Structure 1
Amino acid sequence: MTAINGYNPYAALGSAYARTAAATQPSLLDALNAAETGAQSDPNAATNLTLSDAAKAKLASDAATPDFTTVTNDARAALDKLYAAAKVNGPLTSDGKTTVDLSSLDRRSLFAIATNNGGKFTPDEQSVASQELTGRFNAALAPAAAATSMTKNYTVVYKAALDYLDGASTEEKATSAWATQRAAVLKGYEAAKQKPDTAPSVSGDPVAAYLAKYPDGAPAGTTKTFTTVATDARAALDAQASLAAENKTELVYDPKRKFGQLVDFSSFDNRSLSAITLNQDQKFSNQEIYAAKKELDSRTRASILSSLKQSQQSGDPSQLSLGILQSYSAMSDEERQASGWTVSFRDNVLQQYKSTSNILSMLQGA
């Protein structure tokens, strides 16, 4: 992976955010707690504020979210730990290649690094963090862009971009860069809703820039070999088995078993589950294969049900086919093989989408 050279779009944002957030204000939760304390001590208080469970949960979640200074300090410590583990002194080699993997850092931490919040990060660190953020934006768009490439429905990729932008932290949303990007994407989305088969033309549109660079939908990325994925999955299962043994029990794969430590696949991505399911290198037992296949099938069903729910909520039956096409595009070849999602299956779903869209167009024109 090579580093980004030249302009870092996040570089100027850190100091601007710091100036905006310099004055610390009491949180809404603090104010409500104070109000509640006052109400309890004063029996003649005129107002009794009652919050719904959802509101209380939201406030509790906000209160548990670390402030940006803490996030920044943790990001600095995380980088230093990565350097120590890799036995390097910085994020780049002399020929500009990255030395550490930033995938373990969340989006908010990466934003802190890319914007040099607190002046704690070097230009090279800002550059690789910016590159990682760009990669995550691309990864968020890739399945939807591939579906758009097949269906010629541009609302799909623009909706994916909107969802990604709306998932930004409050610090990122406070920047003019985020506001400008979101305004352009929203304008493109609204245009696509009017003419789904026509690519919107909007100044400063990051989706249009992505599609111009990757017309087929997905960038060619460097991924682990499937053998490496299988080896890592084997090591992860062995680690769980060792932990179970330390706890004087055994690792089990059937939830109906009354004794033992049930295998935990929550940290396994779908490609890892596919490596276990396909067992190409003969590394896994029948029990492990069965459990991994069951977990993979469960995730596949959840993906389809999510698309079905979106179709029902929107009143647009074509959303089901679109969702399945996006899921297909997001899969590796091994995941498709393990899930039984063939090219023929994809073509049938695509044909169903086109037929449904044609019927809807006829009804709308009637």
Structure 2
Amino acid sequence: MVAIKAATPYSAYQSYGAAHIVNAAPRAAATAAASQGGAEQAATAVTLSEAARAALSQQDFATILAETRASLSALLTDAGRTSPLHNGQLALDLSTLDQRQLYAMSSDESFTEDERQAAGLEMQRRFEAALAGPAAIARVTGNYSGLYKAAATYLDGLGPEERASSDWQAGRDAVTEGLKQVQTRPGNVPDAGPSDPVALYLALSRTGDTVAPPSMTDMAANARTTLDRLYAEAKANGKAPSFNRDTTTGTYIDVSNFSSRALSSMVLDQDGRFSDQEVHAARAALQSKSGASLLASFQSAAKSGDPTAFSQNIIAAFSSLSPEEREAVGWSDQLYQTAMQSYASTTKLLDMFTQAGGNAGTGLASLLGR
């Protein structure tokens, strides 16, 4: 069984306490220096693997810290905020920070307590978002293999400093154990011990204790501040702000770089902060993003050879969005139900073909008398 701690629900695979300081980078640098010295004495030429060259080309952690501070300061300024939190909840869109930057922000004491807490919440939110779609598919298919594979992929994609931590290793080992168990019992949730982050996620999602994204109110306020700044900059340069990409006399205001949640807050405009023109521009940008997502789902399904893949991709994409984002982009519950029905009917047909002839392909041929 998994014990849930409300204060640090994901401490089973990561510790983002206020006093935690990253020390993996200095250790790695010292190890690399010692290794380099030994190599120089032992050989005159060394051929590095691609992985080794990639590791050497990575920025040092001090540079990551400096860039993170600069990026966070810019985000706060753009949103007109002094803290990324509001009433203990995320109030700033941190999606532009990469995983190493988030880990730096969560773990280094040069950042304020609010900033470290916000980074920890964003890291947890990203992990939950990465599992939301696969978890929805697991509930439909009764197969947890994809969910544990998604967790492994996510954890493996984190930065080297985070992967060097004992918390990460404990979580990754638990996921590895989970993957072993689902090979023989794909329909059962693995019992991989108290460090299993997937089991924690499933428990938290059942109780509704997952991390809430920044509210629509906060996102709308941030977007309003950013737009006003862009307008002021355009006017300071003697140009009129315009949402016309082909403008030759004004300054094009490009909202396509806004996050989907920020665009959703503009489209819904719950507090009446935006003009019709701004809402129209946000809706066009959001529809472009959702269209690209659907196209990617279709292309991925076409390559997979699995007749149920497209419906599974739709289920995953739908589940990964918040209710507000689904409303803004026009993804109704009917879309989800249709995808579910498509999956169920396709699976039933495949089962019938398999029973008739051994597998879906030969079964269909047998039914046709070929």
TM-score normalised by structure 1 residue count: 0.70
The code of the aligned residue for 1:264 comes to D
**Residues 234 and 240 of structure 2 are in contact (CA less than 8 Å); yes or no, is this contact kept in structure 1?**
yes
The code of the aligned residue for 1:211 comes to L
Whose relative contact order is higher, 1 or 2, with alpha carbons under 8 Å and at least 6 apart?
2
**Residues 131 and 151 of structure 2 are in contact (CA less than 8 Å); yes or no, is this contact kept in structure 1?**
yes
Counterpart residue number, 1:67: 60
Q: Deviations over 1:16-48 (max 9, x none)?
A: 65334314459x9xxxxxxxxxxxxxxxxxxxx
The code of the aligned residue for 1:108 comes to R
Counterpart residue number, 2:190: 200
Counterpart residue number, 2:220: 230
Aligned residues: 329
Q: Output the CA distance in 1 between the equivalents of 2:239 and 2:75.
A: 33
TM-score normalised by structure 2 residue count: 0.69
**Residues 90 and 214 of structure 2 are in contact (CA less than 8 Å); yes or no, is this contact kept in structure 1?**
no
Which of 103, 110, 115 is the equivalent residue of 1:111? 103
Write the mapping of 1:277-356 to structure 2, written as runs, cut at 5 A: 277-356=267-346
The code of the aligned residue for 2:61 comes to F
**Residues 304 and 324 of structure 1 are in contact (CA less than 8 Å); yes or no, is this contact kept in structure 2?**
yes
**Residues 249 and 261 of structure 1 are in contact (CA less than 8 Å); yes or no, is this contact kept in structure 2?**
yes
The code of the aligned residue for 1:21 comes to A
Q: How many angstroms does 1:298 deviate by?
A: 1.0
Q: Output the CA distance in 2 between the equivalents of 1:282 and 1:186.
A: 49
Q: Output the CA distance in 2 between the equivalents of 1:364 and 1:180.
A: 41
Q: How many angstroms does 1:340 deviate by?
A: 1.9
**Residues 152 and 172 of structure 2 are in contact (CA less than 8 Å); yes or no, is this contact kept in structure 1?**
yes
**Residues 244 and 261 of structure 1 are in contact (CA less than 8 Å); yes or no, is this contact kept in structure 2?**
yes
* Cα distance change, pair 194–266 in 1 and its aligned pair in 2 (3 A): farther
The code of the aligned residue for 1:229 comes to M
**Gap regions ≥5 residues in structure 2:** 1-5, 37-46, 359-370
The code of the aligned residue for 1:66 comes to Q
Q: Output the CA distance in 1 between the equivalents of 2:285 and 2:316.
A: 20
66-75 or 317-326, which deviates more: 66-75
* Cα distance change, pair 297–153 in 1 and its aligned pair in 2 (3 A): farther
Q: Output the CA distance in 2 between the equivalents of 1:317 and 1:231.
A: 44
**Residues 138 and 219 of structure 1 are in contact (CA less than 8 Å); yes or no, is this contact kept in structure 2?**
no
Q: Output the CA distance in 1 between the equivalents of 2:187 and 2:287.
A: 33
* Cα distance change, pair 247–227 in 1 and its aligned pair in 2 (3 A): same
Q: Output the CA distance in 1 between the equivalents of 2:315 and 2:292.
A: 14
**SS of residue matched to 2:30:** coil
Q: Output the CA distance in 1 between the equivalents of 2:323 and 2:248.
A: 37
Q: Output the CA distance in 2 between the equivalents of 1:224 and 1:210.
A: 19
**Residues 125 and 211 of structure 2 are in contact (CA less than 8 Å); yes or no, is this contact kept in structure 1?**
no
Q: Output the CA distance in 2 between the equivalents of 1:120 and 1:181.
A: 27
**Residues 152 and 176 of structure 2 are in contact (CA less than 8 Å); yes or no, is this contact kept in structure 1?**
yes
The code of the aligned residue for 2:267 comes to T
Q: How many angstroms does 1:350 deviate by?
A: 0.9
Counterpart residue number, 1:212: 203
* Cα distance change, pair 315–193 in 1 and its aligned pair in 2 (3 A): farther
| Residue 156 of structure 2 corresponds to residue 148 of structure 1 | no
Q: How many angstroms does 1:98 deviate by?
A: 8.2
* Cα distance change, pair 345–250 in 1 and its aligned pair in 2 (3 A): same
Which of 19, 34, 37 is the equivalent residue of 2:27? 19
Q: Output the CA distance in 1 between the equivalents of 2:91 and 2:262.
A: 22
| Residue 168 of structure 2 corresponds to residue 178 of structure 1 | yes
RMSD of Structure 2 on Structure 1 (CA): 4.5
Q: Output the CA distance in 2 between the equivalents of 1:215 and 1:337.
A: 22
**Residues 90 and 118 of structure 2 are in contact (CA less than 8 Å); yes or no, is this contact kept in structure 1?**
no
- Identity among equivalent positions (%) equals 35
Q: Deviations over 1:235-272 (max 9, x none)?
A: 32222222221222222223344443222224422233
Q: How many angstroms does 1:62 deviate by?
A: 6.7
Q: How many angstroms does 1:69 deviate by?
A: 2.9
Counterpart residue number, 1:133: 123
**Gap regions ≥5 residues in structure 1:** 29-48, 50-54
